[in-house]
Amino acid sequence: MKPQTQPDRPGSVPGLRERKKARTKAAIQREAVRLFRERGYAATTVEQVAEAAEVAPSTVFRYFATKQDLVFSREYDLPFAAMFQAQSPELTTIEAERQTIRSMLEDISAQELALQRERWVLIVSEPELWGASLGDVTQSMRVLSEQVAKRAGRDPRDAMVRAYTGAVFGVLLQVSLEWAEDPDLDFAAALDEALACLEGLRPSPPVPPR
């Protein structure tokens, strides 16, 4: 009798089925980004992406609801939120931020990091994608604001939280633009160094009234 496959539990090592899904999804996105870079985003069809990835078009849409989703990815928002809140309360906000980003980048393979850079180069070079990226950035900024506010015990609309979130994303954008122009840039090191300059901007818990 064939043994039954046990469903993956949250926090457990992914099972064979989940690893296969992850590989299929990565392969589809990798081929999509390659074709978009070679032929242009508008000129490339989902059918061509499916053929290159050796899957059916329906499989592409199973993992990516729209053509734009082949480029944009928010899969890191939830892991970031969990890791950020798990950082030691003794760390300042920016220290917790830097530690979280360092940990996440350390877990990304060289191949995945190269794909992320290709995605970013594609977004910067394609006006349609550059405009559409605003929604992706807005969602990620909202996640960061909520997590910073939660850690500091402040409202997400607090001026300090807004200033901090804007500063972090300004740094991230600047380093990412430099990375798009310079493939030899050590993205992780450059980002960490730039974020360290924000150490003075700390959304600490509000001081209770006397």
Report how far residue 148's alpha carbon sits from residue 142's, in angstroms, rounded to the nearest whole number. Answer: 10
What CA–CA distances, in Å, run from 101 to 79, 139, 161, 191?
A: 10, 17, 18, 9
Of 69, 88, 114, the residue that ends a domain is 69
What pTM did the predictor assign? Answer: 0.78
pLDDT, position 6: 43
201 found inside a domain: no
Within 8 A by CB and 6+ apart from 105, the residues are 113, 187, 188
CA 164 to chain centre: 18
Q: Of 63, 82, 80, 65, nearest to 10 (Cα)?
A: 82
| 190 shares a domain with 124 | yes
- The confidence score (pLDDT) of residue 177 equals 92
Residue 16: other Cβ atoms inside 10 A: 9
> What pLDDT is recorded for position 208?
58
Q: What's residue 8's pLDDT?
A: 44
| Shared-domain flag, residues 37 and 133 | no
User: 129: domain range?
Assistant: 71-196
Residues 26 and 118 in one domain: no
pLDDT tens-digit profile of 154-206? 999 999 999 999 999 999 999 999 999 999 999 999 999 999 998 876 666 66
Q: 203 in a domain, yes or no? A: no
Q: Within this chain, do residues 116 and 149 fall inside the same structural domain, yes or no?
A: yes
